[in-house]
Structures are given as structure tokens and as C-alpha cells.
Amino acid sequence: MIFIINVELFIFPTKKQMKNIKLLLSYDGTGLLGWQKTPLGPTVEQHLENALSKILQEKIKLQAASRTDAGVHAEGQVINFFTEKQKIDLEKLQKSINALLPPQIAALLIEEMPQDFHPTLNNRGKEYRYFLCNESFQKPKHRLFSWHFPYPLDLEKMEAAALYLVGTHDFSTFCNELPLSKKNPICTLNSLKIEQIEENRFCFKVEGDRFLFRMVRNLVGTLAYAGAEKLELSEISSLLETRKRKFAGVTAPAHGLHLMKVFY
Amino acid sequence: MIFIINVELFIFPTKKQMKNIKLLLSYDGTGLLGWQKTPLGPTVEQHLENALSKILQEKIKLQAASRTDAGVHAEGQVINFFTEKQKIDLEKLQKSINALLPPQIAALLIEEMPQDFHPTLNNRGKEYRYFLCNESFQKPKHRLFSWHFPYPLDLEKMEAAALYLVGTHDFSTFCNELPLSKKNPICTLNSLKIEQIEENRFCFKVEGDRFLFRMVRNLVGTLAYAGAEKLELSEISSLLETRKRKFAGVTAPAHGLHLMKVFY
């Protein structure tokens, strides 16, 4: 094992000789099929890989802090890649990337990182925001970025419900993936705040160390159900214990969700 | 002639018997060919006329405070129409309109007005806002609502230039319509304020009694040229006197412009 690695060091450029480049990405998820490559349509990963391969003329493999779903937006997605190029003008590279990316995706920052930096494994947590409009109609400017949930919402009920969810728990109830047993369902929700940012418009700020599949959208759907009295507080207090997705609220739609920040 | 009108009074419902309904409209102008009907593609007027004719089952004629250009957005467009219906539940009508309109257009308010209310003739003025991003790239969330002008801008220079434009003047220099002589070119610009709302993002707030064709976009293009030192303050001070469009700055693109409010 040690022998093989040593041989590689002399023959191939290894990760140790490559540069580890980090990008801070923002995207409008409308019309994109999320982060991860799929033959079904355009994704952020595919667009970025195309741009980088064209600029650097080498095969680029991307790693992202969060594999955002189709339609989800990002203001602070963190990704990295390794390049064989030894001399890189980072400012120029950022400009070239932004010139080749479609306008719904942009590289906000670029930085060279230590060899061992990994956007998924190293991150300590993430902040998501979820926007919801609850007028009978939705203002056109919000329609691609907010859930239209046209029912009266009781902010205090939502805040009371959120208190049952903050902390370190088994969040299987809020995971849309089966079988549950395959992954560690224990997550820590550091904070879950609901702000009424204007008349008939709410922002859910969710911060946690890790998130299960569709967990934020299930949390928001459940809080909206609590606010609209489709779920009683007594039901919510025991939701986590049930470990059954069917007892929680609806999965809020993707287009209201925004990945704001990844913490390292 | 008088005889015919008198006959109509007895046979047809006239405007005096009709209800004058006002709507406050908001729209995301992306992909719309502006307010006014055209065979070239979808417009706000066409969508709204279709919805109202379907609901009220009568021919509806719309009048708007501002005939916004293709791609321009509105948060407070005011329109009216007359209906023969004598009993109208306005709240229900608004819900029906919003249910039939595509999601990029919404009726925010509905109100019955006196017979003589006319959205264009009665208005005392309008407020527009124009957004501009001047980073090397544009954040994806702003791309459909702001002009991407990737040059350093000097806010003080723009403010100094704006001082030459505020007030009552012949604004022919800022009008994209020829021949100029056909229309009254005298307008009063009550205020023209430029705010840096975040790093690399500016908002131009323009308020005036009336506006010539593309006037706001020409004002903003000229101020941006002043801020980027493509036009000297000495040139701007004499711009109005020239009455020649070619001496002013570029026409800023439509998608940065937002009709905010119509004053009555």
C-alpha cells in the first residue's frame, strides 16, 4: 500500500502536487435540476464542470458542501476542485468562470485552500433560509423564490412549535429517504427562527450541523401546518419520537429554499 | 350626432350607468412585451383583458397610468376599466382575476372609483426605481431586475450630475421619440436620488409629474456614464439645452426599471 503511493508520487501528479481551489457560488435554482449532475437536464455541477474543463483543459471533479435539490437557490454554496495547473491567476480564473457560466450561476469568491480542505467533510454546519408568502395571491417578484401558502399563519404557534425541534435529536420524522436505518439520523438544529419580514411574508432561518434529505423543507412545512392549525402543538411535541415521516407536515416546495452559508 | 347619442342613452348602458373599477397591479416584466397589446407576444394588457372578459363576460377596455415598455417591472401600476355589471363583489372579483392571471402578474388592490376617474389623465406624477449592479459579475438573484454595468461608479459624481436634471425643464435630450415637436417636452423632475443599497448595487429613485418615452432609462444611463467618467460634469450641465438625444448617455436596459407608485 505504501509502496504504491510512493510510485504514484513519481509517475502521476497526485493531489499533493495539485492546487485545491475553493469557490463560493450563488445560483438562482429556477430551471436547474439542482447541484448534482444528471442526464435529465441542466445542473449547477454540470455547468461549472463544463466551464472549468474548458478553461483549465483538464478533467475537473467537483465536490460541494450541499447537494441542493432541483429548484433550490444558493447564496453561499461552497465547492472545491483540484487542478494540475501550478501557476494560476485566481482573479482571472474567477472572471473566466463567470464569463462561461450561464447568468443564473455566479462564482462570488475564489480562494486556494490547503490540500486537505474538503467542503463536505470539513464543514461544521449550514444556514438555510426559507421564504413563504401567505396572502391570497403572491406578489410576482416573490413567486420564484418563496412558497405561496395562502392561509392565515399564527407566528406565535410556529415559534412554539419550533421550540420542540431545536436541539440534538433523531430527525427521521423529517427525512424523505428510505430506509432510514442506512444513515445517521442524529442532527443538531442550532437554531430555527421565524421572522415576519413584511405583511404576509415570513422567513425561516435554520441553522444546524447537518441535514437529512429534504429536512429543512419538511421542518418548514410542519411549522406552516402548525401556524395554520393543521397540526396541533400537542402533535408536534411528539413528532420526533414517532420517527414516521407521515406524521409531519407537507414537504415545502424547493423554490422557497435558499442555502445561505456553510460554516467551517 | 346629438340625436344618435340620445338614442344610445335609452338603448345601451352608457358609461354613466357603468361602474369604474380601479386595480393596483404588480408584475415581473421578464418575458412580457410591456403593458400595451401587440400581436408580437404576451403583454400585461392582453393577459388582464383576457381574464376580465372571461370573468365579466363583456368586452373590457383597459386604461393604464403608464404604458410600461417590454421587460419593465411594476409594483404599483394603476389601471381602470368600466363594467356593466351592477352588483360586484370586489373581493371575489380580485380573487378571480388573480386566479386567471399568469403568476408574473397580480392585482394587489381593487376599488370602485367615481365615474370621472382616469388613471392617466388624473395622475399627478409617478415614482420609478432603477436598480444597477456594478460588480464584475452580477449576483444571479438580481440578474432579471437590475442592470449589470460592470464599471466603477463614483456616487458623488452621479449625485452632482443629478442636480443638473432635477426641476422643470425641456427634457427632449432624454426622449427616444422622434419627431420631438409633436409632444410637450416640458416635465418636472421632483426628485432624483441615488442610493448605494449594498456593495456594488445602486438604486435610482426618480419622481416626476410626467415622463417622455424612455426618459427614466435615459436619465439613469446618463448618470451611470457620469459616475463612470464616460461623461464629464461640464457636458452634463449643458445636456438639457442641446435637446439632442445623442449627447446624453446610453439608454439603460428595461429590466432594471420598476414602476413603483402613481400619485393622484
Say which residue, B191 or A16, is predicted with more confidence.
Answer: B191
Residue at B218 is within a domain: yes
CB contact under 8 A, B103 and A143: yes
Q: Are residues A51 and A137 in the same domain?
A: no
Q: Is residue A248 part of a domain?
A: yes
Q: Give the minimum alpha-carbon distance from B34 to chain A in angstroms, rounded to a whole number.
A: 15
Touching check for B98 and chain A: CB below 8 Å?
yes
Residue A119 lies in a domain: no
In this prediction, residue B8 carries a pLDDT of 46
Question: Does residue A118 form part of some domain?
Answer: no
Domain final position from B82, B113, B144: B113
**Boundary-marking domain end, from A55, A84, A113:** A113
Give how many domains chain A has, as a whole number.
Answer: 2
Do A255 and A150 fall into the same domain? yes
A257 and A134 in a common domain: yes
Closest CA to A37 of A75, A64, A76, A56: A64
Query: Is ipTM strictly over 0.90?
Result: no
Regarding whether B242 and B139 lie in a shared domain, the answer is yes
Q: What is the pLDDT of residues A67-120, one digit of tens each?
A: 999 999 999 999 999 999 999 999 999 999 999 999 999 999 999 999 999 999
CB-closest option in B28, B136, B137 to A140: B28
| B175 and B47 fall within a common domain | no
Q: What are phi and psi of A163, to 5 degrees?
A: -60, -30
Question: Do B143 and B213 fall into the same domain?
Answer: yes
State how far Cα B157 lies from the chain centre: 27
For A80, A106, B131, the CA distances from A110, given in Å and listed in that order, are 10, 11, 26
At B147, phi and psi to the nearest 5? Answer: -80, 130
Query: Is A141 found in the same domain as A225?
Result: yes
Residue B182 pLDDT grade (very low, low, confident, very high; cuts 50, 70, 90): confident
Distance CA A171, CA B180 (A): 68
pLDDT in tens, A116-174: 999 999 999 999 999 999 999 999 999 999 999 999 999 999 999 999 999 999 999 99
Identify the domain boundary among A64, A80, A113. Answer: A113
One domain for residues B174 and B63: no
- What is the CATH number for B56? 3.30.70.580
Please state whether beta strands B125-133 and B147-148 pair in parallel, antiparallel, or not at all (unpaired).
parallel
Active site residue A69: yes
**Distance from the B110 Cα atom to the nearest Cα atom in chain A, whole angstroms:** 13
A244 reaches B (C-beta below 8 A):
no
Residues near B98 by beta carbon (within 8 Å), at least 6 away in sequence: A136, A137, B106, B107
What pLDDT is stored for residue B142 in this prediction? 96
* Cα separation values, A145 from A78, A128, A139, A257, Å: 20, 13, 11, 7
Give the pLDDT confidence score for residue A154 in this predicted structure. 97
User: Is position B248 within any domain?
Assistant: yes
Residue A101 domain boundaries: 2-113
Asked whether residue B51 falls in the same domain as residue B30, the answer is yes
